[in-house]
Amino acid sequence: MEQRHFSQQALSEWMKHDGPDSDIVISSRVRLARNLRRHPFPMLATSSQSEEVMKQLIEIGKSDQLAQVGKFETIVLSDLNELERRVLVEKHLISPNLANDSRGGAVILSDNESVSIMINEEDHLRIQCLYPGFQVQEAWGLAGRIDNIFEEKAEYAFDEKFGYLTTCPTNVGTGIRASVMMHLPALVLTQQINRILSAITQVGLAVRGQYGEGSEALGNLFQISNQITLGQSETEIIDNLYGVAKQIIEHERAARSRLLTESRLKVEDRIKRSYGILKYAAIMDSKEASQRLSDVRLGVDLGLLQEVTPTVMNELMVMTQPGFLQQTFKEKMNPETRDVRRAELIRKQLRGQTEFGGA
């Protein structure tokens, strides 16, 4: 994998494959937060201390044990420009926090980009595993295997009473954050979403937008994740998320069936209007693009729209983001220019054109 391969294609290799219930669950993710004993946590570390941690963890990343998991490449964040870091965020390969403060930061990426090992983010080490569709248990299995490799070679900050010690108190304990990214348009259209989301928060889960804490749930995409990391085992946390997500999938399927039975013509009209606007609009802001793409994705999943494939929809989710737009057209853009270029890109993608020219 060439070091800047990530910025050339919108879709990571793992996103090109279907997973269980992939019409509703876009992806499953497990992230583990770890820190090294006898080293200041990143927020208190000097540049030299951060550099020392980075070198140690990168060296572990070159081990034969990790090579048995897959092929990996290390990217030092200071080697990337601001736009390249932004593209990594938009592809969910690093966090906004690591992109904004790359001092002593790095990421170890698998060749298919399903594994992202962040160094000197909020914690010394954050191991992230991504799977297509509803595969949170599989993601946990891989994350645990990689965690064991690092724990064998680095001494973690661990307390017998509190578990793994982390910068943020909400991660203390198991240090695990498990989540599923779900597309729930039918629950929104049938006005059931608020009731469902309220019930989710009452069972110890959190609901966020697609970029995590503080982000808006655009395009009917909701990230459902655990809130509790202390007092429960990793298995209990994963099982709880799995059980709740399974119920949400069933509710979304029931809502989609209801739409087809009771409001088919109205829903079909909405979907095809959005498809027409996406195919011919000259200006498109990110919020409208997210909503129109959600409508079209629903049409594809319901079999009401045959002209578009799920892969194209997945590509457009990433390609219409500000960083990737600028990378694609190879020009720095103000918001107004981005809206014009976004519309152009969507038009070309929906017509099967893949060449994009810069200004």
**Per-residue pLDDT tens over the stretch 319-350:** 899 988 998 888 899 999 999 999 999 999 99
212 annotated binding-site participant:
yes
68 & 103 share domain: yes
Residue range 189-201: mean pLDDT, rounded = 93
Which residues, in sequence order, are CB contacts of 120 under 8 Å at separation 6+? 42, 45, 50, 53, 54, 98, 103, 104, 105, 106
Q: Which long-range contacts (CB under 8 A, 24 or more apart) does 203-206 make?
A: 203/240, 203/244, 204/228, 204/240, 205/240, 205/241, 205/244
Q: What is the pLDDT of residues 79-134, one digit of tens each?
A: 998 888 998 998 889 999 899 876 789 999 999 999 999 999 999 999 999 999 99
| H/E segment holding residue 84 | helix 82-90
User: According to the model, what pLDDT value does residue 231 have?
Assistant: 87
> Does 198 score more than 60 pLDDT?
yes
| Rounded CA separation 353/358 (Å) | 15
136 annotated ligand binder: no
How is residue 148 written in tokens? 């064991």
pLDDT at 173 over 60: yes
pTM: 0.90
| The two structure tokens encoding residue 297 | 């994705």
Range of the domain at 15: 5-255
Structural element, H or E, at residue 30:
strand 25-34
What pLDDT, on the 0 to 100 scale, is given for residue 359? 37
Look at the chain and report how many structural domains it folds into. 2
- Kindly tell me if the per-residue pLDDT of 256 is higher than 70: yes
Inter-helix orientation angle 322-329/335-350, to 10°: 70
Same domain, 213 and 282: no
Q: CB under 8 Å to 321, separation ≥6 — which residues?
A: 90, 286
Residue 1 has what pLDDT? 41
Averaged over 65-91, what is the pLDDT?
91
pLDDT value, residue 13? 79
Q: For residue 226, count CB atoms less than 10 angstroms from its CB and return exposed for 0-12, middle for 13-18, buried for 19 or more.
A: buried
pLDDT in tens, 32-56: 999 999 999 999 999 999 999 999 9
Evaluate if residue 239 carries a pLDDT over 50.
Answer: yes
Question: Residue 98 corresponds to which tokens in the numbers above?
Answer: 């690591």
pLDDT band at 184 (very low <50, low <70, confident <90, very high): very high
| Residue 198 is assigned to a ligand binding site | no
Residue 263 confidence class, pLDDT cut points 50, 70, 90: very high
Give me the numbers of helices (H) and strands (E) for the chain, helices first please. 13, 10
Evaluate if residue 286 carries a pLDDT over 50.
Answer: yes
Instruction: Examine the pLDDT at 158 and tell me if it is beyond 90.
Output: yes
| Domain assignment present for 358 | no
Mean pLDDT value across the chain: 90
Q: Do both 221 and 271 map to the same domain?
A: no
Does 178 show up as a binding residue in the annotation?
A: yes
Quote the percentage of the chain above a pLDDT of 70: 92
- To the question of whether residue 341 is assigned a binding role by annotation, the answer is no
Of the three residues 225, 255, 285, the one that is the final residue of a domain is 255
Distance, in Å, from the CA atom of 166 to the CA atom of 163, rounded to the nearest integer, reads 9
Has 5 been labeled as part of a binding site? Answer: no
State yes or no: 22 annotated in a binding site.
no
The encoded tokens of residue 92 equal 């969910």
Q: Is 4 flagged in the annotation as binding?
A: no
* C-alpha span between 353 and 312 (Å, rounded): 11
Q: How confident is the model at residue 291 (pLDDT cuts 50, 70, 90)?
A: very high
Say whether both 122 and 193 belong to one domain.
yes
30 is in an annotated binding site: yes
Does 287 share its domain with 150? Answer: no
Rg (CA), the chain: 21
**Residue 78, marked binder:** no
Is the Cβ–Cβ distance between 340 and 283 less than 8 Å? yes
Residues 197 and 48 in one domain: yes
- 280 & 220 share domain: no
- The last residue of one of the domains, among 226, 255, 284, is 255
Kindly state the average pLDDT of the residues 225-249.
93
d(CA 26, CA 201): 21
Mean pLDDT of 245-270: 97
